[in-house]
Amino acid sequence: MKGITRYLRTTFVGISTVLVCTSAANAQADSSLRAQLVPADSAHLQILTLSDGSTVFGRVVVLSGDSLTFRSNAGATMQLPVGAVRSVKEIATVEIHEGEYWFPNPNATRLFFAPTGQMLKKGEGYLSDYEVFFPGVAVGVSDNLTLGGGVSLLPLGFDEQVYYFTPKIGASLSDKFHVAAGCSSPEAPAEVARSAASTMV
């Protein structure tokens, strides 16, 4: 009998702890969501993902208690309970094309091989791979400076590999006009360099 009582007590404590932690997590998530349900400025729109999985985009007009007034990009005004909103995402109005949201190009700073005039933002970066054997990496040191480089995978000898350095500087003069300059500075293996030099002589 004591064993059953102890088991029931332990089970009750465990369930109570889980419920308390779940309530705290839900309260924190609700607080975070409410902090995002504020009117956006004229340069931004908001995408609301609702509990049924549907999405609407426009702007929050006002948040009052457990409900909010939302004006869609088409001009329709709707009242929504806060509990019906699963998440909020703010986007720039320039990402709306003919009434549809186009997510930002994740590869805007480079084409298939050569770079574009757009720069990586500070802290952004990417990994690339050319012809399988020439991997590379690039990191935005600042919004105006990107440093990149890589090393060939073959041949396997450390002194026989090709190393390359690809710095780039630039600036965005407007949303659609960007200027940049960079270079690709490969370093050939010492043996290849000596062979080239002797051939020139």
Query: Looking at residue 140, what is its pLDDT?
Result: 94
**Which range in 32-36, 74-78, 131-135, 164-168 is most confidently predicted, on average pLDDT?**
164-168
Residue-by-residue DSSP string for 7-48 = HHHHHHHHHHHHHHHHHHHHHHHHHHHHHH-S---TTEEEEE
Q: What confidence tier does 25 reach under pLDDT thresholds 50, 70, 90?
A: very low
Using DSSP, how many helices (H) and how many strands (E) does the chain show?
Answer: 2, 14
Query: Looking at residue 57, what is its pLDDT?
Result: 82
Decide: residue 115, CB within 10 A, 0-12 exposed, 13-18 middle, 19+ buried: buried
**What does the pLDDT average to over 32-42?**
80
**What does the pLDDT average to over 106-111?**
83
Report which residue type is found at 23: S
- pLDDT tens readout for residues 46-80: 888 888 888 888 888 888 888 889 988 778 888 88
